[in-house]
């Protein structure tokens, strides 16, 4: 991947992308200063502030309408992300970690990518390129109270209402979005994890490494299988506890 990051160039089929507001969650002064410098050097990125604890994140994101959070892995807090999503904010999280921390610490937060220590501008630009590629495949609305998402599929931009999504199926680098009233699924160039960022977490749940389902459209559950219309979706072993807990809460 090239390390050039030119957001001044319009993306094919999309209007010019505006500034992306960034905040840094880091209690290491040297590293936070380094990230601030990298953000300042990168076109279309704007430094909106920093904090040294997870407790300050909600106020900083909402007051500055932050698009990207550079978040030290030691300070991650899933409760903050849940609160942000409930308020309609879906920032992209870039986790700062070394290799050992990345392997050892499990997180429930939807981390878009990891920026490994020691920090370097080359690694920073590579991570920003991932974001640019991601944003070029969809219109990503990270401050929303709307009930739909726009996705790019082949040569079209399709508006998909959340209430119409039955389930999503991951196919390596693609996701099939199965929509009621539509014979064929919508195919978009987002992997399942990336596409999951766009879905309201209170309405959709990942039940298998290859499937996300709409709780609204589940017809029945039997023998660790979910029935949605004629489709039978398996429940993966690592997803069972969370899924059945949600079912119990709604019983």
Alpha-carbon gap, residue 115 to 155, rounded angstroms: 32
175: left (phi over 0), alpha (psi -120 to 50) or beta: beta
Return the pLDDT at 20.
Answer: 86
pTM of the model: 0.55
Alpha-carbon gap, residue 212 to 192, rounded angstroms: 8
Percentage above 90 pLDDT, the chain: 45
Percentage above 70 pLDDT, the chain: 87
Residue 61 CB neighbours (<10 A):
27
Quote the distance between the C-alpha of residue 2 and its chain's center: 23
Asked if omega into 118 is within 30° of 0 (cis), the reply is yes
pLDDT digits (tens, 9 = 90+) for 100-120: 887 777 666 778 889 998 999
Higher pLDDT, residue 29 or 130? 29
**pLDDT of 147 strictly over 50:** yes
pLDDT digits (tens, 9 = 90+) for 197-230: 788 877 889 999 999 999 999 999 999 999 999 9
Alpha-carbon gap, residue 173 to 189, rounded angstroms: 6
**pLDDT of 239 strictly over 60:** yes
Among positive and negative, which fits the CA dihedral 155, 159, 164, 170?
Answer: positive
**pLDDT of 32 strictly over 90:** yes
Q: Which fold has domain 20-139?
A: Rossmann fold (3.40.50)
Higher pLDDT, residue 223 or 89? 223
pLDDT digits (tens, 9 = 90+) for 65-80: 888 999 999 999 888 8
pLDDT digits (tens, 9 = 90+) for 152-196: 888 888 999 999 999 999 998 899 999 999 999 999 988 888 788
Q: Are 88 and 143 within 8 A, CB to CB?
A: yes
Alpha-carbon gap, residue 127 to 116, rounded angstroms: 10
| Local structure of 188: helix, strand or coil | strand
Q: Which fold has domain 148-249?
A: OB fold (Dihydrolipoamide Acetyltransferase, E2P) (2.40.50)
Q: Are 167 and 175 within 8 A, CB to CB?
A: no
Considering only 125-134, 143-152, 156-165, which range has the smallest mean pLDDT? 143-152
Alpha-carbon gap, residue 20 to 116, rounded angstroms: 21
- At 136, is the pLDDT very low, low, confident or very high (cuts 50, 70, 90)? low
Distances from the Cα of 146 to the Cα of 21, 113, 132, angstroms? 21, 26, 23
Q: Are 212 and 199 within 8 A, CB to CB?
A: yes
Mean pLDDT of the 126-154 span:
72
Q: Do domains 20-139 and 148-249 have the same CATH topology?
A: no
Which sequence spans correspond to the domains of the chain?
20-139, 148-249
Which residue in this structure is represented by tokens 């604890």?
A: 53
Alpha-carbon gap, residue 34 to 41, rounded angstroms: 11
**pLDDT of 145 strictly over 80:** no
């Amino acid at each position: 991947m090239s390390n050039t990051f030119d957001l001044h160039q319009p993306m094919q089929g999309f209007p010019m992308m505006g500034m992306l507001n960034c905040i840094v969650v880091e209690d290491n002064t040297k590293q936070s200063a380094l990230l601030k410098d990298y953000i300042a050097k990168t076109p279309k990125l704007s430094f909106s502030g920093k904090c040294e604890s997870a407790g300050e994140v909600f106020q900083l994101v909402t007051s500055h309408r932050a698009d990207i959070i550079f978040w030290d892995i030691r300070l991650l807090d899933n409760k903050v992300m849940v609160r942000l999503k409930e308020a309609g904010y879906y920032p992209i999280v870039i986790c700062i970690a070394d290799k050992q921390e990345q392997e050892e610490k499990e997180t429930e937060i939807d981390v878009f990518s990891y920026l490994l220590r020691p920090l370097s501008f080359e690694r920073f630009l590579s991570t920003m390129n991932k974001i640019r590629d991601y944003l070029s495949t969809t219109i990503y609305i990270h401050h929303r109270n709307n009930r739909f998402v726009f996705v790019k599929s082949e040569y079209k931009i399709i508006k998909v209402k959340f209430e119409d999504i039955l389930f999503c199926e991951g196919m390596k680098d693609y996701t099939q979005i199965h929509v009621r009233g539509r014979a064929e699924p919508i195919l978009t160039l987002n992997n399942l994890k990336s596409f999951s960022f766009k879905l309201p977490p209170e309405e959709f749940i990942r039940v298998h490494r290859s499937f996300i389902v709409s709780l609204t459209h589940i017809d029945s559950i039997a023998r660790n299988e979910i029935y949605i219309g004629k489709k039978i979706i398996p429940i993966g072993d690592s997803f069972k506890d969370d899924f059945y807990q949600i079912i119990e809460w709604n019983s």
